[in-house]
Structure 1
Amino acid sequence: MKLYLDPGHGGADSGAVGNGIKEKDIALDIALNIRTILTNEYENIEVKMSRANDATKSLSARTSEANSWGADFFLSIHCNAANGSARGYEDFIYTSLSDSSTTAKYRDLIHEEIVKVNSLQNRGKKKADFHVLRASNMPAILTENGFIDNSQDAALMKDANWRKKVAQGHVNGLARAFNLKKK
């Protein structure tokens, strides 16, 4: 299984900011944890990351790389921001996909596993016209792991153990969706 793992933002693009933290840093840490767990604990998985450090990379470069590599799945990791009072976890698939599509089925499994462990309010499964969902040739989801401008969600994001738990939730969902076998 070839996973293209995309920690959102990076480099000159900090993403959302709030409570003394930046989305690009939280997303990268969760993604690095996902890669570590997958490569250390599962068989027959290749992980390519859009970035493994604080680098700037365009959205089109991310999807072009995933498409040319022939990824089986595109997973984009993010944190949300809104008005300071919104909180919780949500994830997205491309707008035009049906709820019975393969992508939606993968998302359902991943969503279920993440909400078991993340201690966040479940804001549900949604659809959006995001570039990474629209321009990737393979099934793709984007996860929004809490609201960085909400003090309660941000307190969790600042905790390295919470970030590892969230990564494990993503991995548990991927393992179910793709029938990954433990080493």
Structure 2
Amino acid sequence: MKLYLDPGHGGQDPGAQGHGLNEKDLTLDIALKLQSILQNEYEEVEVKMSRTSDITKGLSQRTSEANSWGADYYLSIHINSAVSSAEGYEDYIYSGLSNSSTTAKYQNIIHGEDLRENELKDRGTKKANFLVLRESAMPAILTENGFITNTHDAALMKQSSWRQKVAQGHANGLAKAFKLKRKHSVPEHPPPPPAPVTLYKVFAGSFQSRKNADEQVASLHSKGFEAFVNSTTIFGETWYRVQTGAFESRNNADELLAQLKKAGYKDSFLVADTLFP
């Protein structure tokens, strides 16, 4: 499989900026980590990067290079920006493609695998008329890995370990979509591995103030929802997440999420955690 890997922006174009971070630096680091995973762990994978350092490169130059090389897939990595309250992960394919297209099928696989790793709110799969998606001759995806303008997401972005998780999520998605084979040989009769369990946790907000989190719990209880505070540390800062449920069934989690939003808790979100026995 020939992958054209495109870290967004670079050089004179810093991309989105916020909380002391530049998009161009984050996308390059994630892409380099992803290249290392793919080349070290999988067979018959060729990776060509649009840039491996902080250089300026036009969008048309990137797609032309991918097309001339004959890439099988185009992956463009980005970081989002918007109002400070916007957070989470989303990805895009070309708006002219159907939901049954091969590109859409790849998107669904990669979207799911990214969310298993990146600890971000799920903003869904989307379509757009971006140049790199429109002009690439092969299936293409553009991933938006959190909002640099959001305090929660930016705190994650500052962690090298988180950027490694983002790269791993992309690698897992590519491996699943293109049926990549690992380099290391598997024993002829290996013991069956323990089956992982994915828990879909539903949260009704994330707060830096414990008082605000406790008030949210009280509000939820008054409306008949079970809730408790689940604290977590991100880049040295404590965040208080208000958890309202955890399910092995994604459908059950989605139903609760819909009920919360209908009840007025618009900042509710879902996180998928994979647990290994």
Same-fold status (TM-score > 0.5): yes
**AA at the equivalent of 2:25:** D
State the match for 2:151 in structure 1: 151
Structure 2 Cα separation of the partners of residues 27 and 156 of structure 1: 14
TM-score (structure 2 length as normaliser) = 0.66
**AA at the equivalent of 1:171:** A
SS of residue matched to 1:149: coil
Structure 2 Cα separation of the partners of residues 126 and 109 of structure 1: 13
Structure 1 Cα separation of the partners of residues 103 and 63 of structure 2: 16
More helix per residue: 1
State the match for 1:80 in structure 2: 80
More strand per residue: 2
**Higher Cα radius of gyration:** 2
Structure 2 unpaired stretches of 5+:
184-277
State the match for 2:11 in structure 1: 11
State the match for 1:127 in structure 2: 127
**AA at the equivalent of 1:38:** L
**AA at the equivalent of 1:61:** Q
Structure 1 Cα separation of the partners of residues 171 and 154 of structure 2: 22
**AA at the equivalent of 1:3:** L
User: How big is the shift at 1:16?
Assistant: 0.1
Deviations 1:113-145 (A, max 9, x none): 000111100000000000000000000000000
Q: Are residue 25 (structure 1) and residue 28 (structure 2) matched?
A: no
**AA at the equivalent of 2:48:** K
Greater relative contact order (Cα < 8 A, sep 6+): 1
Structure 2 Cα separation of the partners of residues 110 and 58 of structure 1: 26
TM-score (structure 1 length as normaliser) = 1.00
Aligned pairs for 1:1-183 within 5 A: 1-183=1-183
Question: Where do 4+ consecutive residues of structure 1 move more than 6 Å?
Answer: none
Query: How many aligned positions are there?
Result: 183
* Identity between Structure 1 and Structure 2 (%): 68
| Superposition RMSD in Å | 0.3
